[in-house]
Amino acid sequence: MAARKNKTILRTPADINKAWQQLEKEVARLRKDAEGRGQVVDAITRAEFEAKLKRVNSPMIVAHGWSPSAPPGGTVTYWLYIRNFDVLPSTNIALTVFVGNRNPIASNDEFFSGFDARFPTYAQGAPNGFTMGTAQPGLFSFQVTVPPGIEKTGYFGNFALQKIAFLGVGTIIERSCFFFDVV
């Protein structure tokens, strides 16, 4: 069976402009709430949004945020905001968060091959992943446990948005990273 080509519901410049204006408002609200909790927030720009529409199969990461520090034995909150702009729902989607200095690694095989085993690895979407409908947003949150007795230094958190293939090889749709200190 041939893989379907993803097509965006945002067909015209006016559609893209309207979607961006809505995203801008949503991200501003998320940013205000997160920064009020002392979290760091990062979001795509208009140019990045338009570029993602051309290169990324939806869903796409639009914004994410995290608590910048935690003590040993504490937790770091990591959240992300995802939108699906495909004409069809995206099925068998799963999310993974882990700690390790992996962001600059281009190969997804190598990206997943090493992580800091002192930290738990988190996944969301079990047992069969989840489905994101057309134009559907998703706000997901993870509580990353900082192991007791760990060194007080900076750590990289990593995130992967995946399409699961139970009888084959899955696909990494997008990745992101965040940086936090153990204090």
Residue-range domain boundaries for the chain: 13-182
Q: Are 63 and 30 in contact (CB under 8 A)?
A: yes
Residue range 51-110, pLDDT digits in tens? 888 776 678 999 999 999 999 999 999 999 999 888 788 888 999 999 988 666 667 777
Q: Are 155 and 177 in contact (CB under 8 A)?
A: no
Answer whether residue 1 shows pLDDT above 50: no
13-182 is a CATH 2.40.50.1070 domain: no
Q: Are 118 and 147 in contact (CB under 8 A)?
A: yes
Residue range 7-19, pLDDT digits in tens? 667 778 898 899 8
Average pLDDT, the chain: 87
Counting Cα atoms < 13 Å in the Cβ hemisphere of 155 gives 30
Provide mean pLDDT across the span 23-34: 95
Counting other chains too, the contacts that 25-30 makes at CB distance below 8 Å and 24 or more residues apart are 26/62, 26/81, 26/137, 27/62, 27/63, 27/81, 30/63, 30/65, 30/81, 30/139
